[in-house]
Structure formats: structure tokens, C-alpha cells
């Protein structure tokens, strides 16, 4: 897939059907991604609704406490970890 006017490739569609999501690399510029991350971090810091912590849904492997859950959101982003 090279632009938004094209359909998903067969591989991307199969991935979506199998996993429930598809990763499309370089769909948005680094600047747009950074802006989205900054907005998300700001909203998380303000606890703007709607907000759902993994601890609340209690799926297997979810954090046991809100404090443990919140550590996930205050850790450096994967890009910052190197």
C-alpha cells in the first residue's frame, strides 16, 4: 500500500483478519506521529475521559494495580528507548 487511495494488499488484509489490526509503516510522517503522541501524553496526564486502564479490564497478563498500569504510560516511548 503506497497511499491512502489504494486498498489494503492481500497480505495486509490477511493480517487484519488474523490479528484484528494492521500495521502500515510510514502512513503518517514523523511530525504527525510526534504530534499525536504529545496530545495522547497530555490527555493521559490530565486523565481526560474516556480513559480505560488495563487493570480495569482484568484480561490475562493485565497489571494488578493502577500504579503498575500507570507506569506503562509514563515510561519513555519505544522510539526514546533506542
Q: Where are the alpha helices (DSSP H) in the chain?
A: 10-19, 30-46, 54-57, 66-74, 78-81
Q: Could you read off the pLDDT of 6-61 as tens digits, one per residue?
A: 688 899 999 999 999 998 888 899 999 999 999 988 988 888 888 777 878 888 88
Question: Which domain does 59 fall in, by range?
Answer: 10-74
The residue ranking higher by pLDDT, 70 or 1, is: 70
Q: Is residue 79 part of a domain?
A: no
Q: Is residue 46 part of a domain?
A: yes
pLDDT bucket at 81, cuts 50 / 70 / 90: very low
- pTM, whole model, 2 decimals? 0.49
Q: Is residue 17 part of a domain?
A: yes
Question: Hey, how many other C-beta atoms are within 10 angstroms of the C-beta on 68?
Answer: 13
Amino acid at each position: 500500500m503506497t497511499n491512502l487511495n489504494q486498498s489494503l494488499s492481500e497480505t495486509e488484509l490477511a493480517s487484519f483478519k488474523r490479528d484484528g489490526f494492521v500495521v502500515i509503516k510510514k502512513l503518517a510522517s514523523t511530525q504527525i506521529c510526534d504530534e499525536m503522541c504529545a496530545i495522547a501524553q497530555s490527555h493521559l496526564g490530565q486523565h481526560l475521559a474516556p480513559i480505560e486502564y488495563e487493570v480495569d479490564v482484568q484480561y490475562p497478563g493485565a497489571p494488578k494495580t493502577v500504579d503498575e498500569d500507570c507506569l506503562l504510560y509514563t515510561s519513555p516511548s519505544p522510539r526514546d528507548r533506542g
